[in-house]
Structures are given as structure tokens and as C-alpha cells.
Amino acid sequence: MELILIFISAAIVNNFVLAYFLGICPFIGVSNKLSSAFPMGLATTFVMLLTAIVTWLIYHLILVPYDVVYLQYVSFILVVASLVQFVEMFIKKVSQPLYRALGIFLPLITTNCAILGLALFIVLKDYSFVQAIFYGLGAGAGFTLAISIMAGIREELELANVPRAFQGAPITLIVAGLLALAFMGFAGMISV
Amino acid sequence: MKKQVSLFTEYTKGLWDQNPVFKQVLGMCPALAVTVSAMNGIAMALATTFVLTFSSLIISLIRKLIPTQVRIASYIVIIATFVTVVDLVMRAQFPELSKELGPYIPLIVVNCLILGRQEAFSSKNTPLRAVLDALGMGTGFMIALASLGGIREILGSRTLLGVQVMPDAFDPWLVMILPAGAFLTLGLMMGGLNQMVLRKKTREERELAARHLQKPKMSLEHGQEA
């Protein structure tokens, strides 16, 4: 039960994008089409899950026992970068069409602050291994949800008559603000 | 490549023409997350400027030694080292501020602004230019964060830098200090700035067109007089 609560909390109540402002760059950059936003969300979720597992192991089996916690930022970011590289190679080997569809977006996942943020939050909240996995899955689901909703809205927005000065980033930010207001309705539902 | 610009423009271009937040839309996560108050924004910008300046200096010094294949990884390690320095110093010297900024200080590592400047500028220019560019971008980042934080602080909690500026009769807009307020404020600010730039441009165009129209007229008058 507690694990489900962690999942829902990370996915909806404390949504990474709309409540913690993590992963804004892809959220604004890749959200103009649903067909690219959804796979991007899935790839990010996958990397998040792996990151949660690997960084938890590194933190608790290497950094803490050897008393080198001050290396956590350097080691975490290296883990994320190499994981993304690994996922890229793996997808290229397994499914060429998927690789071509995601192509440019894959390397960009490294600089997605949601990934490193996830690793830091797991340390901060002192989660156990299983909790960390569910937290990672929830955060990924939340990111996928947010970026897909955003892409859906922006596809409609293309048909709307937006003032010239507000085209592009400004209107996207305002829409994101309204989305964040909507997600605030979940606030206080669960406190984990 | 273009002709070398003066050292002065190397600094000033980051303030407005290429302002990281308003013009390049980089470094959005910290810009939105920590700007609940002007002070937080300034502290965040100072930390970012420090990391940006020193990593630009180092990377520009060793730019010919880094193999291109592993350059991104090397940049990230250098940046992460300086972020660790900032984090430890802040935790020791300003524990309250460090607690308030929380995980967003370590997240400077993945601030696209810093990595972007290394890739686009420091890896191709001399150390002096790289440092000036970094300082300019840092100042531009600070202008953006301080103004965003200031607006949100005034409307959301009636204060500016901790001093009350709005009368008690003014009801604080709670939404401004909530996540939604950050998105809305930045969106409106960017839209407003774009509007200003657009209006200036159309006015210039109109003046130019008017001058073009006047010229033949004047020569015609001259012709008539003669």
C-alpha cells in the first residue's frame, strides 16, 4: 500500500514537471507533437527506473561505506550519462525503427534535470531499495503524463490565433501554468 | 567565423541580446523553481555564475587537450566538481539559504545554460573571452532571476528582499508563490518583452519606410524649384 502511495505521490501530487520544475527543457522543447512526446516520456521513464536502481546501489554500497559522499554529484551524473549512452546503444541494436523515431531526443535525456533530481530526491528522502524503484516509476509516469497532456494541448493551440509576441515559449509557459493550477487540485491528497 | 568582437561586447551580449532566460530559454528549471523571492533568485544566480565562470575558464584552458568524442563527459565532470565546491561552501557558510534552495544547488550540474556555453563558446575561445562571456551570461541570468523573483515576492508575499513594500490592505496573491505562479509570471514577462521588441522593430521599419518615401518627394520639390 505504501509503495502505491509513493507511486501516486510522485506521479500526480508532486508531479516532477509541474510541482518541482524538473525536466522543463524537454517539456517545452519536445512537446509540440504527441507522436514524439509520448515515446520521449517512455524513454525518460525507462532511464529514470534504471537511474533509481543504479544510483541507489552506488550510494548505499560504495559512497556511504567508503565515506566519499561528497563525490555523489560527480558519480551520479556520470551514471546518468553512461546509462543514457547504454540505452541508446541497446535501442539501436534491438529496434531500428524506434531508434530512428527517438534519434535526436535520446542523448538529450542526459541533461534532463528530472533524472539527476530523481537520484538526489531518493537520497534526500532516504528511501529503501524497493521504495526507490517505485518512486522512479512514479516520477517517470508523471513526466510522461505531463508531457503528453502538454503535447495534446499544443497540437490544438496550433489552430488558435495566438498574439505574435506570445507565440512559442511564452504561450507554452502560460499553458504550463494553467496545467500546474489544475494539478494543484491533487495537493494534500497524499502526504508521503 | 565572424570577425572577433570587442571584449566589451563579449560581456554585454549576455545581458540582453542573448539573455539566457528570456532570449535563449535556457536554465529554466532553476529560474522557475527558486524564484519564490528575489533573494533566492540572486543567490541561485550567484552560485550559477560562479560555476559557469570557473568551468568556462578551465575548459577554455584545456580545450585543445580534450578529445572531441568524450568532451561532453569531461565538461560534466568539471562542472560537477565546481558544483560540489559551491554546495559545500553554501552548506557551511549559509546553512539557511542552502536548505531553502535544497536540491536545486546540486542540479546546477545539469543546467543547460552552463553546458551550452561550454559547448558553444568556451571550447572555441581564449580563456579571457570565455570568462567574460561567462560573467555576462551569469549577469544576464541574475537579471532574469532577480526580476522574476522580485515580481513574485512583491505580489505573493508583499515584500521585496524581506522588506514589506505593499500596504497591509493588499491581499497577497497566493498563486504567485505556488508553482503555477512561476510559469504564468515568466510566460507573461517573456510575452511582454517580445511585444516591446516587436513594437520597436515595427516603429523602426515604419520610420525607414517614411524616410524612403520622403526622399523622392524632396528631390521632386527641388526639381520644381529649379
pLDDT digit string, tens, across residues B7-55: 788 788 877 778 877 877 777 778 888 888 888 888 889 999 999 999 9
Q: Does A187 map to a domain?
A: no
* DSSP annotation string for chain A: -HHHHHHHIIIIIT-TTTTT--SHHHHHHSTT-HHHHHHHHHHHHHHHHHHHHHHHHHIIIIITTTT-GGGHHHHHHHHHHHHHHHHHHHHHHH-HHHHHHHTTHHHHGGG-HHHHHHHHHHHHHT--HHHHHHHHHHHHHHHHHHHHHHHHHHHHHTTS---GGGTTHHHHHHHHHHHHHHHGGGTTS---
Contact: A20, B33; criterion CB under 8 Å: yes
Contact indicator for B133, B56 with CB cutoff of 8 Å: yes
Contact: B28, A172; criterion CB under 8 Å: no
Query: pLDDT for A114-145, tens place per residue?
Result: 888 888 888 888 888 988 999 999 999 999 99
Contact: B183, A120; criterion CB under 8 Å: no
- How is residue B79 written as a grid cell? 562542472
Chain B CB within 8 Å of residue A56 CB = no
Look at residues A19, A3, A17 and name the one whose alpha carbon lies nearest to residue A185. Answer: A19
pLDDT at B50: 93
Q: Buried b vs exposed e over B131-150: b needs ≥16 C-beta within 10 Å?
A: bbbbbbbbbbbbbbbbbbbb
Chain A CB within 8 Å of residue B107 CB = yes
Place of cell 524538473: A22
Contact: A77, B72; criterion CB under 8 Å: no
Confidence of residue B96 (pLDDT cuts 50, 70, 90): confident
Contact: B184, A173; criterion CB under 8 Å: yes
- How is residue A34 written as a grid cell? 504527441
CB pairs under 8 A between A and B: 122
Dihedral sign computed on CA atoms, order B123, B128, B131, B132: negative
Locate the chain A residue with the closest alpha carbon to B179.
A19
Q: Does A123 map to a domain?
A: yes
Q: What are phi and psi of B160, to 5 degrees?
A: -135, 120
Contact indicator for B21, B149 with CB cutoff of 8 Å: no
Q: Does A189 map to a domain?
A: no
Span of A55-69, B146-160, B211-225 with lowest mean pLDDT: B211-225
Contact: B180, A180; criterion CB under 8 Å: yes
Q: Does A159 map to a domain?
A: yes
Domain span including residue A131: 2-182
Q: Does A141 map to a domain?
A: yes
| Interface mutation target, options A47, A70, A74, chain B, most CBs of B under 10 Å | A74
| Res B224 pLDDT > 50 | no
Confidence of residue A30 (pLDDT cuts 50, 70, 90): confident
Q: Does A191 map to a domain?
A: no
Contact indicator for B79, B114 with CB cutoff of 8 Å: yes
- How is residue B63 written as a grid cell? 580545450
Contact: A176, B187; criterion CB under 8 Å: yes
Locate the chain B residue with the closest alpha carbon to A19.
B179
* Predicted-complex ipTM score: 0.78
Q: Does A73 map to a domain?
A: yes
Residue type, A130: V
Confidence of residue A21 (pLDDT cuts 50, 70, 90): confident
Contact indicator for B77, B184 with CB cutoff of 8 Å: no
Which chain B residues contact residue A113 at CB under 8 A?
29, 107, 110-111
Dihedral sign computed on CA atoms, order A116, A122, A128, A130: negative
Structural domains in chain A (count): 1
Which chain B residues contact residue A21 at CB under 8 A?
28-30, 32-33, 179, 182
Predicted structure pTM score = 0.80
Arithmetic mean of pLDDT over chain B: 82
